[in-house]
Every structure is written in C-alpha cells, then in structure tokens.
Amino acid sequence: MISQLNPEQRTAVTSSGQYALVLAGAGSGKTKVLTTRMAWLIQTGQVSPYGLLAVTFTNKAAKEMLARLTGMLPIDARGMWIGTFHGLCNRLLRAHYRDAGLPQGFQILDSTDQLAAIKRLIKTANINDEKFPAKDVQRFINAAKEKGERPETMEVWDAHRQRLVDIYQLYQEQCQREGVVDFAELLLRAYELLSRNALVREHYQRRFKHILVDEFQDTNDLQYKWLCLLAGSGASLFAVGDDDQSIYAFRGANVGNMAASERDYAKGNIIRLEQNYRSYGNILNAANALIEHNSERLGKNLWTDRGEGEPLRIIEQATDQLESQWLVEEIKALINEGGSRSDIAVLYRSNAQSRTIEHALFSARIPYKVYGGLRFFERQEIKHVLAYLRLVSNLGDDTSFMRVVNFPTRGIGARTLENLTDASREIGCSLAYGVGAVPGKGGTNLAQFVQLVKDMGSVAETVSLPELVQHVIEVSGLKQHYEQEREGAERLENLNELVNAATVFSLEENYEGMPAGKAVEPPVQADPDIMFQEAMSPLAAFLSHASLEAGDNQAKSGEDAIQLMTIHAAKGLEFKAVFITGVEEGLFPHENSLAADGGLEEERRLMYVAITRAKERLYISLAQSRMLHGQTRYSIRSRFLDEIPEACIKWLTPKVAAYSQASSSWSSGKSYPRDPYGRPETGSIAPRAPRTTSSGVQVGGQQFRIGQGVRHGKFGDGTIINLSGQGNDAQAQIIFQNAGAKTLALGIARLEIIA
C-alpha cells in the first residue's frame, strides 16, 4: 500500500504521533496521502472504518476520497463519516434532532431559498427594504453565524446595527417556526449541540479516534472550533493543507488556523510534502521565489525531478486588446503543435477582464468555456443593462420589460404585473403600451418606468453609444443598487467593462461620435454578396453584437475548448499550458488589497496558485494601457514580476517593424532594459499609445505633468503616470513607492511636487 509513496509521503501516512500537520505543496499528492493514511489506519487495525472521520470542502473531493479508499480496501464505505463540513453537520443533526432543538424532518435552505425567506420576512415585518436590502441582511446573518454569534450575544454600537440584529432575531424565529435551517445554521447548530450536550460530545469523542482534515488552510474560525471540540483530548488530528494557497479570506477562511493547529496540537510535528509531480523546475522555482516574500508562512520549497523545462514567457503589450490578440496567436500555435484546447487555461484576477479575451477568441472562432462562472454577456448585471438598452431600441420588447421593470425595485409587485398582463392582452398591445390601463399606485409606478425608458431614448438621439451605456447604468439605478451591495464591487467592474465594450465596438465599427439611437448607413463597405444592407443605429448594431457573442461559439458539453477562469476558480486544477493575464500593478495585486490587513500577502498567494496550475508552459502577460471605465488607464508591471528570478524567465517582445494589430509575428530574447516605471525602454518595444493628457494640468497654482515626482501626506512619494480632466476636476493616477497605485483628485489631494 505504501510502496509507491516517496519518503515524505510515507512518513505522513505512517505517522504515529497523536497530532500531525502536513504541509502539502501544490501537486505533491495530498489526496493520495489522505486516502492512503485512512486505508493504512484501517488495514493495520488501528481504527475501524466507522471510527474514522474525514472532512473536506467539496462534495467532489469527498467522493474522490471514497472512490480511492474503496479501490484500496474491500470495505463498504457507505457508512463511513467522510464528507464536507456541511454534510457531516447535517448527518449529526439528523441523528440528534431533538437535542439540537429541531424537528425530525427539518429542511435545508440553499442560498437562493434563504434569500427568498429573508425577502418574505422583510415584507411581512414591514421592514424598509431600501435601508435593509435582503442580500445585505443575508450576508450579515451568515457572517454572524460563521463567527458563532447569536442575536442575543452580538455587540451593538448604533441604531442600524441594532436593527440588523433585530432582523436576525426575527429570521431565527421564522426558521425555527418553519423547521428549516440554512447552510451556516448547520455548522453553528452542530457546534452548539456538541458544546452544550456533554453526553453527545463524549460519545463522538470516544467514537472518532482519528480525524483527518483536507484543505485545512480554508477553514474558518467556527469550523476550527468545531474540529477542536470533536477531537477533544483523545483523538488523533491529522490536518493537511497549504498556507501558501490560502486565498479565501473574503469567505471567512483564516490562514492563521494552520499556525494555531501547529501551536495547539502538532507542536512541531510538521511534515512537508515538497516533491511536486505536476510542474517543471522553472515553474516551481518561480513560485518558490515569489512566495518567499510573504512573512507569515510556515515555509516549504517545492522541487521536481522532471527537469527545468521551458522558461516562463512574459510579454508586455501596449494595450489590453493587443494582449488578447497575442494570446490568441499563441493559443493557435499551441493547438497547431497538436495540443488539446482543454489543456490550455487563461487566468485573470478579475472577471471583468474576460470580456476582451472572450471577444478575441470569439473573433478567431476558437471555442472556449468560462469555468465556474458565466460568459461576460451572460452575467446578471450585464443582462440587466442590455435589457434597458433593448427597451430603448424597442419599447415593445416584453421579455426585456419583465426583466427590469422592477429591478432595481421600484414598487411594482407581482399583482400589478398580473393586472398589466391581463390589460395588455385585452387591448392587444405590448406591456409598455398597456400601462395606462392599470389603476392605482401600481399603474403610476409603471408609467414612471416607461417614461424613464423613453427619456433614455431621447438621450440616445444625442449621445454616443458608450455615453448612452454609462447613462443607462446610472439613471436606471443599477449603479446605486450594486454600490449598496457589500460584494457588489465585481458587478460594478463588469458594468464599467460594458462601457469599455461599447467604446471598442464604436471604434471598430466606425461609429465613434455618432448618436447611439439614430439609424445610419453601414459604416463599413457592404459585403458584395449581400444585395441589400439595412441602415442600423449604433445601439441596434451593438445589441446584435452582444447577442451573437453571448450565443455563438459556446463550447458544447464535452467539446474541446479553451478554459477561461478567475484565479480563484482555478485552485485545485492543472493544465499543460497556462496564461496569466493582466499582471499589472493595481490590477494584480489589486489596488484594494493594498489597504487591507494582510491583503498584499493574500494577493501574492493568489499569484502563487496561478503559477502552480501550469504543468509544462506558463505565459504571463501585461499591458501598458488598459481601458477601464471607458477611459484609457496606464499601468506599470506588477511587483510580482520583480520577485521572479530572471533565470526562470524569457521575455518576449514584438518586432518593432511589425508592431500592428494585424501582425502575429513575434521574436523572443533575453530580458531587456527597463525604464524607471519597470517598462521596456523605448527601442526595445514599440512606441507607447498616446496619453490622455500630455501637456499637464494646472491646479491651484501648481503645474502637474506625467512622470513628475510627488509626495502625499499619507501615501508618501510617488510618480504621476496619468492625468485626466482640467482645473479642479483634474485627477492623477500615481504609483506610490509603498502604497501602490492610487487615483487622486488634484483639487483636494494636497500633493507636493518633488524632484
């Protein structure tokens, strides 16, 4: 059973200590170690299959453990306690529902059902849903439960929080009355059961003599407390994880649990699995050198006997569009070499980055799949904006009408919509034209919505397509709605990216400056095979483009396709070739992380995860300019690239003479000279795109210009890399030596000009 294990794996599997902490590096065979450990304990008679408990984070991982275990031993694993935290807690509560204060047939609410229950509570309790949106309440309740807090134990410091605590109490009473529990309640109720009932606790502490935990770095505080309670002082706790891959702090994961486990249990019994069976040496050397810059880690060093392999290829392009076009050409080359599309992954820090990449793949007719998420034009917030735009283009579009008539909420309920549907059917018209037949306040609200859309249509006659998209995002209330969501930042990024998409579309189709809503003759020469080409407004053309990209070139189930995903979604996966895109300061590491406690170290762990997904080839790309919020933003290369040894890298640079969007001819060479901003010096790469403000701006008697050194009272010394606006409205994008990228209003920033 253990003959095929390496020495470190064998040490972990056969560990005789009561407590062990296994630091399992990426690609080091941690699942193999966990399942072999379970099989070894059972086969050597140290524990029965039913005296062992193994917990992980996904049902997929739990099923894989069971499948491997039954493949090693002739046992019936169905009765074993192997599963996720939520699955095991559900099992515990089913067995002791009376002690847990639950009905025997209690039901579990998934996230969608929980939100619906909260909305129902808000309505029946006459709670102001504008001050207390259901999603915010849901997040508040789940966060409290994950900390082990009940309403009666929570600290209150203002009236708003008091109201949230009161709603939590009402929700708790509603769930108890209806006999339902949500996911967070499963864990909290199971923890309370064990902590308050000594008989139940002691029973399971006697039963489970060996507790094994997978992905230990992803545990939150309550999960760690539950494990400690279950283990007591007699069980053997075998924890496997990688603190260098802890990237879920935003979900409540506490990487400090690994250090706490070492301190409280393992007490020096740390086993490091450092031999990597996935990647070549250059990839691992890059990952090791990068992660060494994190101070809060237990420490390990990945190695392989597969050889050094190819160096990491890094390219810096002038724009994000050129970055995507280069990516497509490289993907074509890999496929032409005989590679499978599904062996190629394109990773990005933010979902909003996928739009440009998707467009390039779509244009090249390369099938792709967005793993663990939606394609850009299929995302909820994007479909909302498109629905408003479709109504502007065609007020009779009932599907779009129903999608956004009450989103964001504007007091139009289901009964009002039923009345509108009946009235429109009787009249024989579309919904928008039947609002006058609906009486009362509901009819008034409907009329106000229709007028809002008509006003958008009037604006469309005078402004460009990107300006119209921005206008709709703001006046529809979508921007304000997502600003109020605690996790709405990514949706806002996607809305901004839609403005970018409209800007790029206008440029590519020669619609720049044309009113979005006015029909124009086709700006490009008609296809000679088409006898007639109808005049179309920029808005109508853009909506057609969005529909085509949303519905065409989608990889069918099982089809060989390029894999697109965020780096968070890539954890646990591996690919022969990996592209990490947008590795620029302010984007990766993300500028929001620089102000968060431990944020930069988590961003570095995220980069570490991205690098270690690659088995054979790794490409890293960045752009000197990237379109954000409909405007060009200039960037410098990420600090992470400076933390990778030059010996692992091959810099790719375009041939200067062939530097155009049409060119796909590239040359490669060793690292080239860099300017003070970390970019290639002029001559080694094509000239940069023009900046938005080249002559500088005058604010309060000071003349600011790009490249100028400045000092800020809080952020310290930095360099201006972009300027926009004039006078008191002027803004500067500044890279600070210690604080990273910031955008400041020059009228209020109090900057001191320095040499």
Question: Catalytic positions, please?
Answer: 30-31, 214-215, 245, 613
Identify the CA nearest to 356 among candidates 470, 544, 554, 503: 503
Q: Which amino acid is at 267?
A: K
Is residue 573 within 8 A of residue 613, CB to CB? The reply is: yes
What tokens does 268 get?
A: 């020096």
Omega within 30 of 0 (cis) for the link into 408: yes
Distances in Å between the Cα of 507 and the Cα atoms of 21, 144, 504 are 56, 49, 5
Identify the CA nearest to 133 among candidates 143, 148, 118, 146: 118
Residue 735 half-sphere exposure, CB side, CA atoms within 13 Å?
21
> What letter would DSSP give residue 437?
G
With a CB cutoff of 8 Å and minimum separation 6, the contacts of 315 are 323, 326, 619, 620, 621, 622, 651, 652, 653, 666
Which neighbouring-strand residues pair with 619?
A: 313, 579
Distances in Å between the Cα of 595 and the Cα atoms of 292, 600, 686, 739 are 21, 8, 34, 8
User: Helix, strand or coil for residue 712?
Assistant: strand
What tokens does 284 get?
A: 């691992």
Tell me the C-alpha distance between 603 and 704, whole Å. Answer: 32
Tell me the C-alpha distance between 87 and 201, whole Å. Answer: 18
Reading phi first (left if > 0) and then psi (alpha if -120 to 50, else beta), residue 729 is in alpha
Identify the CA nearest to 583 among candidates 617, 616, 546, 611: 611
Residue 88 half-sphere exposure, CB side, CA atoms within 13 Å?
24
If one counts every other C-beta atom within 10 angstroms of the C-beta of residue 245, the result is 22
Q: Which amino acid is at 50?
A: Y
> What letter would DSSP give residue 685?
B
Is residue 506 within 8 A of residue 465, CB to CB? The reply is: yes
Residue the block writes with tokens 């691992």: 284
Is residue 536 within 8 A of residue 545, CB to CB? The reply is: no
- Compute φ and ψ for 266, nearest 5 degrees: -60, -40
What tokens does 143 get?
A: 């966060």
Residue the block writes with tokens 């009819």: 443
Q: What are the start-end ranges of the H helices in 3-84?
A: 7-13, 30-43, 59-72
Tell me the C-alpha distance between 66 and 382, whole Å. Answer: 41
Tell me the C-alpha distance between 603 and 247, whole Å. Answer: 8
With a CB cutoff of 8 Å and minimum separation 6, the contacts of 465 are 502, 503, 505, 506, 511, 514, 516, 538, 539, 542
Identify the CA nearest to 731 among candidates 603, 656, 629: 629
Tell me the C-alpha distance between 362 and 745, whole Å. Answer: 38
Tell me the C-alpha distance between 613 and 646, whole Å. Answer: 20
Tell me the C-alpha distance between 81 and 171, whole Å. Answer: 31
Q: Which amino acid is at 632?
A: T
Tell me the C-alpha distance between 105 and 97, whole Å. Answer: 9
Tell me the C-alpha distance between 80 and 470, whole Å. Answer: 56
Tell me the C-alpha distance between 140 and 132, whole Å. Answer: 10
Residue 630 half-sphere exposure, CB side, CA atoms within 13 Å?
18
